[in-house]
Amino acid sequence: MKKLILAAALSAISAGSFAAAPAWDFVQGSYVMTDFDDSDFEYEPDGFAISASKLVTDRVFVTGDYSQQNDDIFGLEVDLDMLTLGLGYRYALSNQTDLFGIVSYEDIEVSGVGESDGEDGYGLTAGARSMVMDNVELRGAVKYIDSDSGSDTSIIIGADYFFSPAFAVGVGYEASDDLNTFALNARYNF
């Protein structure tokens, strides 16, 4: 009898704890900080990022990210600008969880003291997003980038807390061989 009551209670809790599938139509603003691991000097730029995603069909979406960060190196200001434009596909694994893949164009520009150096390439991302509670979304992905200077693979994790179906705040972290990026974000679903 206790097992039956416990099973019924767990079913009621889990049925009421999930809202809907993750939203793919959103705009997000973030404060970002990057730490370069593989450098002979300390370069830890910070700044802002803006991201957006929009479904164009039930499963296909477009996405874009732009970040602008800067830091002083030996008293000179250096800027780091990154742009990602992608086309993605989502697959509903369940009512609360989506698997996704993205093919993207990647552009990185470093500039300062009248000089600039940039590289571009493509990216491949595979991941999952899940509403683990009605107001909490978790996400994780693996991203591969192939650019002019070589290739790199990173792990991306994050979580968002929804104050309402439209507004959320969250954190994100991306780690690769060359750099680590931490983000605090505010998101609006439309």
For residue range 73-109, list pLDDT tens digits in order.
777 888 999 999 999 999 999 999 999 999 999 999 9
- What domains appear along the chain, each with residue ranges and CATH number? 20-189 (2.40.128.130)
> Confidence class of residue 10 from pLDDT cuts 50, 70 and 90?
very low
**What are the tens digits of pLDDT across the range 14-73?**
444 445 789 999 999 999 999 877 556 667 899 999 999 999 999 999 999 999 999 987
φ, ψ of residue 17 in degrees (nearest 5): -90, -10
Picking from 83, 89, 40, 81, the residue whose alpha carbon sits closest to that of residue 62 is 89
Q: Please tell me which residue, 15 or 140, carries the higher pLDDT value.
A: 140
pLDDT score at 41? 61
Euclidean distance between CA atoms 102 and 129, whole angstroms: 13
- Residue 4, pLDDT above cutoff 50: no
For the chain, the 3-state helix, strand and coil shares in percent, each to the nearest 5, are: 10, 70, 20
Yes or no: say if 166 and 146 are a contact pair by the CB < 8 Å rule.
no
> Confidence class of residue 141 from pLDDT cuts 50, 70 and 90?
very high
Euclidean distance between CA atoms 81 and 67, whole angstroms: 6
- CA dihedral (54, 102, 131, 28) in degrees, to 10, reads -50
Is the pTM here over 0.95, yes or no? no
Yes or no: say if 154 and 173 are a contact pair by the CB < 8 Å rule.
no
**What are the tens digits of pLDDT across the range 120-129?**
999 999 999 9
Q: How many residues does the chain have?
A: 190
Euclidean distance between CA atoms 174 and 54, whole angstroms: 22
Yes or no: say if 153 and 2 are a contact pair by the CB < 8 Å rule.
no
